[in-house]
């Protein structure tokens, strides 16, 4: 059985402010992104533990398997060719390639949501990404061997018009 609960946004004003920003960002992507099937937030803002005003917004955008694979190939090509990384960070390349795939203008996104681009990090995954953790870990070449499992544990699902929710699994 799965029980879904909305995230409690109580706490410090920074925490409330950052979670509100995350909800605005997710709402915009969900509304205007091409082929978006779902959104999830992970990292410090989702966990609410080490979050500061300098924290970035780590967002999983669930898309078709084909769109996710194309995005991963584009990011990997950029890293291997080292063409895009000369003037950009890896997070910047991921963000740029994701927004291109989603058909979202970075300028329009920043104007609508108010979050600086350097604070956004996007990952395009297939909608069934939790069933593909080992494969995504290999494709991502992350130095932490538990990176994808940690994301799956911490990710909050975006519920349109309500915000982020977490699920509690019970037998």
Q: pLDDT, tens digit, for every residue of 38-49?
A: 999 888 878 877
Report pTM: 0.81
Higher pLDDT, 26 or 166: 26
Tokens of 26: 């997710």
Q: What pLDDT score was predicted for residue 138?
A: 86
Backbone angles phi and psi of 142, in degrees to 5:
-80, 145
Q: What pLDDT score was predicted for residue 51?
A: 63
User: 81-124: per-residue pLDDT in tens?
Assistant: 765 556 678 888 889 899 999 999 999 998 988 877 778 889 99
Q: What pLDDT score was predicted for residue 16?
A: 54
Mean pLDDT, residues 136-156 taken together: 86
d(CA 47, CA 153): 10
Query: Looking at the predicted structure, is the pLDDT value of residue 7 above 50?
Result: no
Percent of the chain whose predicted confidence (pLDDT) is above 90: 34
Mean pLDDT, residues 23-52 taken together: 85
Q: What pLDDT score was predicted for residue 85?
A: 57
Question: For 104, how many CA atoms within 13 A lie in the half-sphere containing its CB?
Answer: 28
Mean pLDDT, residues 56-69 taken together: 92
């Amino acid at each position: 059985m799965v029980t879904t609960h909305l995230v409690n946004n109580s706490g410090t004003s920074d925490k409330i402010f950052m979670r509100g920003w995350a909800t605005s960002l997710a709402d915009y992507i969900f509304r205007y992104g091409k082929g978006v099937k779902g959104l999830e937030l992970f990292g410090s803002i989702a966990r609410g533990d080490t979050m500061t005003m300098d924290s970035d917004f780590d967002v999983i955008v669930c898309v078709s398997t084909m769109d996710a694979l194309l995005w991963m190939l584009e990011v990997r090509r950029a890293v291997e060719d080292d063409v895009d990384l000369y003037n950009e960070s890896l997070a910047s390349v991921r963000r740029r390639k994701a927004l291109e795939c989603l058909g979202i203008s970075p300028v329009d996104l920043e104007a609508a949501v108010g979050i600086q681009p350097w604070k956004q990090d996007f990952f395009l995954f297939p909608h069934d990404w939790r069933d593909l953790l080992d494969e995504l870990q290999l494709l991502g070449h992350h130095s932490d061997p538990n990176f994808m499992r940690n994301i799956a544990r911490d990710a909050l699902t975006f519920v349109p018009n309500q915000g982020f929710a977490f699920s509690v699994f019970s037998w």
